Chains A and B, each alone.
Chain A
Amino acid sequence: MGDNLISVNNVSVNFDYQENFISKKQKIHAVNNINIKIKKGSFFGLVGESGSGKTTLGRAILGANKISSGNVIFHDEERDYDLTDMNKQDLKEYRKKAQLIFQDPYAALSPRMTVRDIIAEPLEVMKITNSRQETDERVRDIASKCRLNIEHLRRFPHAFSGGQRQRISIARALVSNPKFIVADESVAALDVSIQADILNLLKQLQTELNLTYLFISHDLSVVAHVCDIVAVMYLGHIVEMGPSRELFKNPKHSYTKALLSSIPSIDPEKRSEAIELKGEIPSALNPPPGCVFRTRCPNPGVDCKGGEIKMGLIEVEPGHWVDQCCAL
């Protein structure tokens, strides 16, 4: 497979749902038939509104959610791991290599552990290091890479600001020397001035440690700035995917266009150019048949309005994929 690190092949994730114990069991189609390849050393962005399935997909790739159909392959140097067919030993190995950074640095860190213990915990749990001395060395090493003050390692998280806490979470995720990182809304809870700092840190660590990121965010301007490749999700489907510059300059899908126009412009003279989408994202319990976006689409064609066009990506430019309903 050469230069890919992760291949996601036809992955769907369904959850069972029962409103109360006498009602019928239903299925929530959280993620539907997703195909993505994440190249080694890339910064892969996943955008979409809440409820679009970005987090579920990210967790599925980490093996934290059960995959209902399809498979995820992690291409390591010596061997390939198939996530849907893994024994406990493999899963343990995989956990060292794929890690998650959470959204809220206030909730992600235990208030009763010192920063040193928080960062060292993965090493101890995964039995990566053999002695306390070795653990301390690795903790200090990664902490300084994440620009944390080594002298602060004995403090508790409450003494730190949001940005510093996020650096602690990053250090914790990176201490086991992973190759693949899922960053789930990792800058959403931070102030703009600190957000820029964390984004720069993630970029810098990527080159320093040869990392590959799956960066999940709802903020398009952040994604446009840091990601090489972006996939736009809506109601469990990828509706458009491509190199980020191409995608943001030349969006093809009506949903991507609407999302881009909804970003409030910093220029007060450019007010209300937003293509306003009516209504809200439909429930994943009974998604509309055919194109999932057609219920909110500002300019639906005759065919797709009736739901006759199936979901499926076609390549309109090299590497730029658009759902066929809008591409046609």
Chain B
Amino acid sequence: MSHLLEVKNLDVKFDTDEGRITAVENISLSVDQGEVLGIVGESGSGKSVTAKSIMKLNPGNTSYNEDAEIILDNENVLQFTSKQDLKKIRGGKVSMIFQEPMASFAPAIKIGAQMVEQLLIHKNINKEEAKSISINMLKRVGIADAEKRFNQYAFELSGGMRQRAMIAMALSTMPKLLLADEPTTALDVTIQAQVINLIKDIIKEYQMGVIFITHDLGVIAQVADHVAVMYLGSVVEKGPVNEILKNPKHPYTKGLLQALPDINNLDAPLSPIPGNIPSPLDRPTGCVFRTRCPHHNPEGKDGKIEMKLIEVEPGHWVDQCGIKCGQNG
């Protein structure tokens, strides 16, 4: 069976005044229907850039490598150039939910009007039908008084409700793939739990593929089926969620887990990952994590080991330098 989405050997580079920045290097991922792929990593690790590439939403100074492929529904998105083709993916086959719902709704246009507008672009329907689809969708995501909310502005809703409206809007065109970029980060824990449950129900109901980006490993454990751990533009470890969280191999994944305060184990010391994430302008050669790796092996330290994922268990891939370091500690 072919995957719903397959990203192969993707590099993303930005041309800036200070030089060419490698934001993402040699990433391969796949998502099936009804599956949630979680992408975790710190800020600056290239999670959002990867997601945006799928909709070709990166800014004009972006360049992709020639042999990269992003196959969505048997079509290579990277070769789309005409507005017509791009429209098909942006909001049609792929929808995106952002972190800050206040910033993603136009402040001076009613929520209903924004929902109807995108439906009219992507579906061959009239205004009345679009309105009823939108109101039903608002009801589906648990917004009480959907008719009233339809005629309100984004600032009139609370944070949790805004995020629900955002999800309703993203889903109303029935996309095949949903990109959720930190959708719960700005929310309180109780509201976050509501939104996570809502997203999980909806995935089951509509059988769409989801890429769920977050820096919170707890959220990943709750929603994802597969996880890819990113660091400085590279995937350092990927596999089934259970395997990654219970049996991490790469020192970076281990470090992230150890830095996380665990409420069930208050005696465990919090151990930060030493150092800072390097600037993408001077990306280390070889293993990208070697400048901060606590258990570096001699060859890895000099940058002599190239980045390459190796399958250590069925479906569990780890960067080859990380395997060696992981064994050291």
The answer to whether B194 touches A276, judged by C-beta atoms less than 8 angstroms apart, is: yes
The answer to whether A262 touches B221, judged by C-beta atoms less than 8 angstroms apart, is: no
Chain A residues near B222 (CB-CB < 8 A): 264-265, 268, 271-272
Interface residues in B183-209 (C-beta closer than 8 Å to A): 188-194, 196-197, 200
The answer to whether B158 touches A262, judged by C-beta atoms less than 8 angstroms apart, is: no
Apart from A263-B189, A266-B217, list 17 A-B contacts with CB within 8 A: A161-B277, A164-B276, A192-B260, A195-B259, A196-B272, A219-B261, A221-B260, A222-B261, A224-B266, A225-B266, A262-B189, A263-B263, A264-B216, A266-B257, A269-B242, A276-B194, A277-B193
The answer to whether A197 touches B245, judged by C-beta atoms less than 8 angstroms apart, is: no
Interface bits A220-239 vs B (CB < 8 Å: 1, else 0): 11101100000000000000
Interface bits B161-195 vs A (CB < 8 Å: 1, else 0): 10000000000000000000000000011111110
Task: Tell me the nearest residue of chain A to B227, going by C-beta.
Answer: A268
The answer to whether B42 touches A274, judged by C-beta atoms less than 8 angstroms apart, is: no
A3 located at the interface, meaning its Cβ lies under 8 Å from any Cβ of chain B in the complex: no
Interface bits B225-255 vs A (CB < 8 Å: 1, else 0): 0000000000000000110011000000001
Chain A residues near B276 (CB-CB < 8 A): 161, 163-164, 194
Contact of B43 among A191, A199, A269 (CB under 8 A): A191
B47 CB to nearest chain A CB (Å)? 12
A-B contacts, 5 listed (Cβ < 8 Å): A49-B188, A162-B43, A195-B272, A245-B266, A265-B218
Please measure, in the bound complex, the distance between the C-alpha atom of A200 and the C-alpha atom of B161, giving whole angstroms. Answer: 36
Chain A residues near B255 (CB-CB < 8 A): 193
Chain A residues near B328 (CB-CB < 8 A): none
Chain A residues near B216 (CB-CB < 8 A): 192, 264
B254 CB to nearest chain A CB (Å)? 11
A258 located at the interface, meaning its Cβ lies under 8 Å from any Cβ of chain B in the complex: yes
The answer to whether A264 touches B219, judged by C-beta atoms less than 8 angstroms apart, is: yes
Please measure, in the bound complex, the distance between the C-alpha atom of A274 and the C-alpha atom of B198, giving whole angstroms. Answer: 13
B215 located at the interface, meaning its Cβ lies under 8 Å from any Cβ of chain A in the complex: yes
Task: Tell me the nearest residue of chain A to B41, going by C-beta.
Answer: A191
Chain B residues near A263 (CB-CB < 8 A): 189, 218, 263
The answer to whether B215 touches A262, judged by C-beta atoms less than 8 angstroms apart, is: no
Chain A residues near B242 (CB-CB < 8 A): 268-269
Task: Tell me the nearest residue of chain B to A220, going by C-beta.
Answer: B263
B193 CB to nearest chain A CB (Å)? 4
The answer to whether B263 touches A277, judged by C-beta atoms less than 8 angstroms apart, is: no
Please measure, in the bound complex, the distance between the C-alpha atom of A195 and the C-alpha atom of B255, giving whole angstroms. Answer: 13
Enumerate chain A interface residues (CB-CB to B < 8 A). Answer: 49-50, 161-164, 191-197, 199-200, 218-222, 224-225, 245, 248, 258-269, 271-272, 274, 276-277, 280
Task: Tell me the nearest residue of chain B to A52, going by C-beta.
Answer: B188
Chain A residues near B270 (CB-CB < 8 A): 196, 199-200, 225
Please measure, in the bound complex, the distance between the C-alpha atom of A274 and the C-alpha atom of B257, giving whole angstroms. Answer: 21
The answer to whether B263 touches A264, judged by C-beta atoms less than 8 angstroms apart, is: no
Chain B residues near A218 (CB-CB < 8 A): 188-189
B65 located at the interface, meaning its Cβ lies under 8 Å from any Cβ of chain A in the complex: no
The answer to whether B218 touches A266, judged by C-beta atoms less than 8 angstroms apart, is: yes
Chain B residues near A266 (CB-CB < 8 A): 217-218, 221, 245, 257, 260, 262
Chain A residues near B74 (CB-CB < 8 A): none
Chain A residues near B219 (CB-CB < 8 A): 264
Most chain A CB within 10 A, of B159, B224, B272, is at B272
Please measure, in the bound complex, the distance between the C-alpha atom of A221 and the C-alpha atom of B246, giving whole angstroms. Answer: 19
Most chain B CB within 10 A, of A163, A260, A272, A274, is at A274
B160 located at the interface, meaning its Cβ lies under 8 Å from any Cβ of chain A in the complex: yes
Please measure, in the bound complex, the distance between the C-alpha atom of A165 and the C-alpha atom of B193, giving whole angstroms. Answer: 31
Chain A residues near B158 (CB-CB < 8 A): 280
A155 CB to nearest chain B CB (Å)? 14
Please measure, in the bound complex, the distance between the C-alpha atom of A245 and the C-alpha atom of B200, giving whole angstroms. Answer: 32
Contact of B272 among A197, A224, A260, A274 (CB under 8 A): A197
B290 CB to nearest chain A CB (Å)? 16
Task: Tell me the nearest residue of chain B to A274, going by C-beta.
Answer: B193
A262 in contact with B42 given A192-B259, A271-B222, A280-B158 (CB within 8 Å): no
Task: Tell me the nearest residue of chain B to A203, going by C-beta.
Answer: B270
Chain B residues near A277 (CB-CB < 8 A): 190, 193-194
